[in-house]
Amino acid sequence: MNRFSACAVVGLGLLAAPFATPSTAGTASAAKQTLQVFAAASLSEAFRELAHGLEAARPGLTVRISLAGTQQLVAQLEQGAVADVLASADERWMSYAKAQGLVSGEPVTFARNRLVVIVPKSNPARIGKLQDLSRGGVKIVIASDAVPVGHYSRTVFRNLSRAEGFPSDFATRALRNVVSEEENVKSVVSKVQLGEADAALVYRSDVTPAVARYVRLFEIPDSANVIASYPIALLKDGPAHDAAKAFIDLVLSADGQRVLEQHGLMPVAANAP
Amino acid sequence: MATPAVVSARRTRPSLLTLGAWVVGALLIAFLALPFVALVLRITPRELVARLSSPAVIEALRLSVLTSLAATVTVALLGVPVAWLLATRDFPGKRVFEVLVDLPMVLPPTVAGFALLMAFGRAGLAGRALGAFGLSLPFTTAGVIVAQVFMAVPFMVGPARASFSSLDPKLLDAAATLGARETFTFFRVALPLAIPGIVAGIAMSASRALGEFGATITFAGNLPGSTQTMPLAVYVALQSDLDAAVALSVLLLLMAFGLLLGLRAAPVGSFWGSRARAAAR
């Protein structure tokens, strides 16, 4: 092998090295540590704030939060992604992760969330009440069935079909109005925020102040609503075990629960501030 | 400068440079082929066939073929005249125009999809005007085609332009001196001679349209039967049904491979080329 090709091979190796082994850099020195949190997209704002809190309390610690639809996070973990904490938007995917041997210990429910209907401020389809969602031609966007919120949305439609004042074929007609099944709740929100969809089902916590400027919100009666439970758990293969425990403790603490509540989530009763 | 170097390399021993290039080449081939091989090995042919005959897959396949075909025809009709203009004419703002044509190639597809929403979405710049005519692109199959066209344009214009640029001006001059009008020269001489580049552009833009994901899901959304093309179906399946995702991926891989291989095997270039040269004479 001559110099040119040797250089090329070494060059390729150097290029690839930092990407191939990201975790060794984090564990090499004890002072600097990285905590990798996989969290449901609906937790974005609350978890970012909690992460900053933990970073401030533990110098040298960097908290990296990967936000996506829970189903996508679990799929990544199954394919060998390394993380320390999983915060899921439903129990279905958490039990699945547990059955796959990804989780260490018992998952703990740390928050609840409820669904709401949002429409653009301009309200192009003139939605005035939930019943209007089944009117022909209304463009509804929900998440796909694999996404926790998408699964809940379908349940809400079915519940409303049985509710007083709603036609019994409400669910069928509302589902016929669905024009797109998004892959996480934030994409659902953006379709309404941009005014492309007439209505969407999202979590209450997704209507952040930034979003609220663009949308109008309709509450779903408790009797027909789904209350989502958010479990959190340590992951078996995570290298930053202590920091992961500290993060979960923070989430469950009175302070943590207050942060969650400020971001539109419902604190769990036992730890409620 | 390049030529003397090559000559001297040939005069010395069948060189270390060649050897090195082969080694690098082998590494690159392995790097490119391994993921595809791994993908194909994940599934047995029987399982592949069984998976692919499911209604959901056939629906995604039908939609993918339909949309990428429509997108490719559109891109060819729009791209060939533009390629010819860029190859043969100078005009003010040409640089900017060239950059615009190339932009979709480097832009992250999600950004392209978002920009398309800003332009052709219901609340978008042009979208509001379309809405006045009762036309709405987001969440429709037409929207999928628009996203694919947007992303595929540079892949059509690039090779076609190179073909037009490399035409022997003498042939065109000959046609002109023999009294042929520009239109005649274009259709009987320039276009047939540029066929290799045009066909390459068609195959590449078809492959690009077939594989388009980010702009589609952002601009047109994701609904089985109307906007969920194969790449979107793969993405959705990856999160819920891994085997289905593998089957769909293998099918996409085979289609793209077939398209590009077919392009290289096809004798269209020489056939049209010889006819055009005859016509020029």
Residue with tokens 């891994």: B242
For B15-55, the pLDDT digits (tens) are 888 999 999 999 999 999 999 999 999 888 888 888 888 88
CA atoms of A50 and A234, how far apart (whole Å):
16
B239: nearest CB among A75, A122, A182: A75
Nearest residue on chain B to A68, judged by CA atoms? B239
CB A180 within 8 A of CB B221: yes
Nearest residue on chain B to A1, judged by CA atoms? B20
Inter-chain residue contact A1 with B19, CB threshold 8 Å: yes
Inter-chain residue contact B236 with A183, CB threshold 8 Å: yes
CB A164 within 8 A of CB A3: no
CA atoms of A261 and A94, how far apart (whole Å):
22
CA atoms of B169 and B190, how far apart (whole Å):
10
B122: nearest CB among A9, A12, A196: A196
Cα atoms in the Cβ-side hemisphere of radius 13 Å centred on A260: 26
Note the pLDDT of residue B11.
55
* First-to-final CA distance of chain B: 36
H or E segment to which residue B211 belongs: helix B195-211
Q: What is the DSSP letter of A256?
A: H
Q: Residue A36 is encoded by which pair of tokens?
A: 């990798």
Inter-chain residue contact A124 with B122, CB threshold 8 Å: yes
Note the pLDDT of residue A24.
42
Q: Pairing relation of β-strands A199-203 and A140-143? A: parallel
Q: Which residues of A touch B21 (CB under 8 A)?
A: 5
A2: nearest CB among B20, B139, B217: B20
For chain A, the residue count is 273
Inter-chain residue contact B123 with A141, CB threshold 8 Å: no
For B228-250, the pLDDT digits (tens) are 999 999 988 887 788 888 999 99
For B81-93, the pLDDT digits (tens) are 999 999 988 999 9
For B171-198, the pLDDT digits (tens) are 878 887 887 788 888 888 889 999 999 9
Note the pLDDT of residue A67.
93
CB A205 within 8 A of CB A42: yes
- Looking at the predicted structure, is the pLDDT value of residue B1 above 60? no
B227: nearest CB among A12, A180, A197: A180
Residues belonging to chain B with any Cβ–Cβ distance to chain A shorter than 8 Å: 16-17, 19-21, 23-24, 27, 117, 121-123, 138-139, 217, 220-224, 227, 235-236, 238-240, 242
